[in-house]
Structure 1
Amino acid sequence: MSRVRTRPTRDDTRDKLFEAAARVFEEDGIGGASIEAIAAAAGFTRGAFYSNFNSKDELIIAMLEDHVEQSIRRNMDILAQHDNLDDFIAALRTMDRSRQDPLGRSPLLHMEMILYVARAEKRRPELAKRLRARRKLIADIVEATLKSNGKNNALNPPWMASVVLALEDGFRLHRLIDPETTPADSFLRAITDLRRRTGLAAG
């Protein structure tokens, strides 16, 4: 009989560190969170942390990268099922955040982490890389929607993607500052309004 593996894989360890880091960041703040606290929250030693990441900043970059990769896969899966923009937005509204990665479950923590990394100028190119990946995803969704509806629209998908992402990040920041007047669905409501105004209507 084959032996049952009891040691976690590298991906398992990273996922547990991501989950633990999110909890510690929310409790202690990103700046105040220590590597020791993150490792302990994950049930690992400090050495286990350093076998995966060289620093807290590297962990944060990895979390942001993982979030973008998962977001792209998730949105492309939804697009494959709903090439109609109204249906796509409706699917986003009903998406179960509890099954997402830590930053998907907590958009505010995602924004805080972006701002934290952006404070270091040398790290900004890494953020730019992920921003471009997000922008391309949205541009692909806009272009696919236009084609599926048989529209030869004059809209510029890359520019529309920039507008959409600016709205998304803006509403995240507004909700961080003033959650009482910024409902959780503000971004999707804005996208629905934008869709109606630009003629990106269902076929």
Structure 2
Amino acid sequence: MTRLSREDSRSITQEKLRTAALQEFARWGFGGAAIDKITESAGFSRGAFYANYKSKEDILIDVLKAYNNREIQEWRQFLAMPEDIETVLNYMRESFARYLGQADWGMFVIEAQLHAKRNKDFAAKYRGYLNEVNESVRLMLSALYSRAGVAEPPNFGELAVLLRALVVGLSLDVGDDSDPSNAPDQLMYFLKTILHHA
């Protein structure tokens, strides 16, 4: 077996901690989530948590960034494919369906928003995260418009914010009591509509 480098080992530890944190925050909320439960679920000691994160807020932001960056990066790869735009949109739909397959994601995102509303210090960090995500979504949308061969509208930045908010809202609709297959179709309807009216 090949021995993992220190950096690879750290990345694996952080990924396990992020997965456990997502579940803990979604289930108990920010206030009820416990670092001991996060580390226990991830299979690590409390020391392993503090070797990677300063606080619950730090891991909260890290989970948000990691999951959103992964999704946006995948969509960018689809947009670089040589296939026609309809095929590319179908790939994006499948990717979004997988993204929504994380049952706790919608609850987790709402917990982050609520904590930002209740805590001024965290709100500043959260706003920085939102600015980064909105810019990433704007770049992804720009690539989509370019790929479709249509011009960007004047209110393009607002459109990126709207798309991010729509994804968050749709992620909340997916759960035990709803049909998760509808949300990806709704997102594709939105994307096709804005491209058609460009």
User: What is the Cα deviation at residue 30 of structure 1?
Assistant: 3.6
Q: Give the Cα–Cα distance (whole angstroms) in 2 for the partners of residues 85 and 121 of structure 1.
A: 43
Tell whether 2:192 aligns with 1:195. Answer: no
* Contact map agreement 1:84 1:145 (CA 8 A) in 2: no
Task: Spell out the pairing of 1:1-203 with structure 2 (5 A cutoff).
Answer: 4-5=3-4, 9-81=9-81, 85-95=85-95, 105-106=102-103, 107-118=105-116, 119-152=118-151, 154-173=153-172, 175=173, 180=178, 183-185=182-184, 186-196=186-196, 198-199=197-198
Q: Give the Cα–Cα distance (whole angstroms) in 2 for the partners of residues 116 and 151 of structure 1.
A: 37
Structure 1 residues 180 and 147: alpha-carbon distance in aligned structure 2, compared to 1, 3 A threshold: closer
Classify the secondary structure of the residue corresponding to 2:32. coil
RMSD of aligned residue pairs (Cα, Å): 3.4
User: What is the Cα deviation at residue 41 of structure 1?
Assistant: 0.9
Q: Deviations over 1:76-105 (max 9, x none)?
A: 11221168654433112112765x6xx882
Larger mean CA deviation between 175-184 and 154-163 belongs to: 175-184
Give 1 or 2: higher helix fraction.
2
Q: Give the Cα–Cα distance (whole angstroms) in 2 for the partners of residues 137 and 126 of structure 1.
A: 17
- The one-letter code matched in structure 2 to 1:125 is A
Larger mean CA deviation between 178-187 and 164-173 belongs to: 178-187
- How many percent identity over aligned positions? 24
Structure 1 residues 43 and 195: alpha-carbon distance in aligned structure 2, compared to 1, 3 A threshold: same
Q: Give the Cα–Cα distance (whole angstroms) in 1 for the partners of residues 192 and 149 of structure 2.
A: 20
Structure 1 residues 147 and 92: alpha-carbon distance in aligned structure 2, compared to 1, 3 A threshold: closer
Mark the runs of 5 or more structure 2 residues left unpaired by the alignment. none
Q: Deviations over 1:80-134 (max 9, x none)?
A: 1168654433112112765x6xx88243134223224313122222222222222
Q: Give the Cα–Cα distance (whole angstroms) in 2 for the partners of residues 14 and 188 of structure 1.
A: 32
TM-score (norm 2): 0.76
Number of residue equivalences: 193
* Contact map agreement 2:72 2:140 (CA 8 A) in 1: no
Structure 1 residues 46 and 75: alpha-carbon distance in aligned structure 2, compared to 1, 3 A threshold: same
Larger mean CA deviation between 76-85 and 113-122 belongs to: 76-85
* Contact map agreement 1:67 1:104 (CA 8 A) in 2: no
- The one-letter code matched in structure 1 to 2:107 is L
Structure 1 runs of 4+ aligned residues shifted over 6 Å read none
Larger mean CA deviation between 44-53 and 137-146 belongs to: 137-146
* Contact map agreement 2:36 2:46 (CA 8 A) in 1: yes
User: What is the Cα deviation at residue 178 of structure 1?
Assistant: 11
Classify the secondary structure of the residue corresponding to 1:9. helix
Mark the runs of 5 or more structure 1 residues left unpaired by the alignment. none
